[in-house]
Structures are given as C-alpha cells and as structure tokens.
Amino acid sequence: MTQSEPAARTYQVTIGEEAGDRLDLVVARHGELSRTQAATLIANGTVQVGGRREKASYRVESGDVIDVTIPPPPGRDIVPEQIPLNIVFEDEHLLVVDKAAGMVVHPAPGNWTGTLVNALMGRGEPLAEGGGEDRAGLVHRLDKDTSGLLVVAKTDASHRVLSTALAARQVTRRYVAVCWGHLTGDTLTVDQPLARDPRDRTRMAIVQTGKAARTDFTRLARFDSVDLLRAHLHSGRTHQIRIHLSSVGHPVIGDDTYGGGGGRKLAALPPRRHFLHAAWLRFVHPVSGEVVDLRSPLPPDLRHSLAVLSEMPELESNQDPLDVFGFYHTTDAQPRERDSSSDS
C-alpha cells in the first residue's frame, strides 16, 4: 500500500425508533464517539441532516437521514513497521492472521504504533483501501487482549465481498472462552443490543437502543470453578462475548473491564490477559468460491491456564487441547462452497 493521507470515516443514519433523541446523542451512538466528539463534529459542519446543518440539541425526526464525516486525526501518518506476524493463510486476494494477545488491531489515540495495521503495512504487500488507511484491509477486528484468527483483504473487491458475507452472517467465527461459575444449562443464547456505555465511553454495555448482538454459547466442560465454552458470534460488536457473559453473571476469566479480573492466580493467567481466543474461522473465498476453514490452537498461556483449571496437566503438551473437548464437533450450519456454475 502506498502511504497517503489518512481517509475520513463516513457513515449514514436513517432515523426510526430514535425519533425525539438529540442529534449529538445519535451521532455519538452510531459512530462510537463521546458526546463531546459528536458535538464538535456538528459544530464544525461535518454532520448534515437531510443536507442541512443543525445544532447538537436538534431533536431528530422519523425519516431524517443523517450524514456524518469524521475527519482523520491531523498530522498522523500511519507508519509501516517491521513487526513479525503469524500468517496462516495468504494468496493474492486476502490473508488471515493469527493475532497475538496484547496487539492492538488498528491505530488510534494512545496506540499510533505497534498495531496490526502498522505491521501489515510493513510487509509491503497490497492491501484493500476501502476501509481507509488506518484499517488497511481489515474485514473485522479483535480486542487487544483477545488472540486468534482475523481476516484481511488485499483488494477492494475482496473487501466488499467479505464484508457483505460478514454482515449476512456467512462468515463463521467461533471463540473459546472460559467463564467464572457455571451456566444453568449446556447451551445459552444471549440476544442483547450493545452500544457505548453512556456513563463510561471506554466501555461497551447492553443498551436497548444499541446495535443488535447475538451470541450462542455451548458448554464443552464444567470444572471446579469455571466453564469451558464455545461461543458462536451472529454479529460482531465490540466486546460482544465479554459483555454478554458478564450480563448473565459469568464474566470471562481475566477480564478486568467486565468483572472477571479476580482470581487471576487461580486461573494461572498472566497480567492483562483474559481467556478468550478466536479459534475457528470458516468462510467462502471471495474469488475462488472454495471454503476456507482455519483453526488456531490455544496459545501457550491459555493452554497452561486450561491445564491448571481442568486439573489435567497433560493438556499443556497437547497440540490442540480444544479437540479433546469437542470444540470442532458441531452440527451448526456452516458456509458451503459456492457453485461456480451458477455465477453469471
């Protein structure tokens, strides 16, 4: 990717159930911004309601179409960096990274360097530009302290196809999580909308006016103080699995933000690490139509934690202990190979 000026981010909102809300609240909610940031955009004229400027206090009406442009941060070039990455799949159209815990995915205030995007740009390979330079082909994201599989598009065409498939729930993403306590049954579905926490903009929360979010959980094993779970995302909201488990009283162990940070020594987890790993990714290749099926075994820190929590020390030397617990054995619907004969 050639280095250029960072791109502005744009989005559009059509008002329905939010009719009567203040304009600054709507802009903040949909742009994952603070209310102050939203008010600044409105004052600077980069928010238009039906093509006209309104004040932050404007009460939106049903049918209003709001166009928002978020300018890039001034004077911040995204710098390519030589950072090793674990690439588990790559061709001329896309690549899949097995991201390590502790790596931020894209540059943002406080993390302008050392991110996955910096590392991707440092490889010197082409990357899709549709999402803006600070997104460098990213199709979806992972939290800083969540490890595992993540798709990156190399071309704008692949980015469009993969993003559409993701929105249509045609990309299967399954995570392994360990939560404190025990679910009431072997399966659980949490279907609760998420948005920025109105009381703390650094966190997400269940907010009834937020974006729809559903996670299916399957208990794979029950240990003394924790459950081993497979989590299947039907949407991909920020911190979704972590919030959904916390909302039912069983936060992810090691999750300092959403109530699971206690007992780290018992769980044998290193500092600032939670037990959440994107272990299984399956999607239809945007060009060949073939199914790409990738698995990421537990990294050493989580493998050690699982061995301790399960009191099964032999797991630590197992190449993929998830298979021991049937993580990959499921009858859930999976993406199928596209029939090229039906293509026009």
Residues catalogued as catalytic: 143
Q: Determine contact, residues 252/177, Cβ cutoff 8 Å.
A: yes
Q: Determine contact, residues 104/115, Cβ cutoff 8 Å.
A: yes
Tell me 108's DSSP state.
Answer: B
| Token pair belonging to 43 | 């004052």
Q: Determine contact, residues 209/236, Cβ cutoff 8 Å.
A: no
Q: Determine contact, residues 286/161, Cβ cutoff 8 Å.
A: yes
Q: Determine contact, residues 151/172, Cβ cutoff 8 Å.
A: no
- Nearest residue to 11 (alpha-carbon basis) of 36, 38, 35: 38
Taking the CA atoms of residue 79, residue 81, residue 86 and residue 87 in that order, the dihedral angle to the nearest 10 degrees is: 60
Q: How far is CA 130 from the centre of its chain?
A: 18
Buried b (16+ CB within 10 A) or exposed e, 172-181: bbbbbbbbbe
- Cβ neighbors of 344 (< 8 A, separation 6 or more) are none
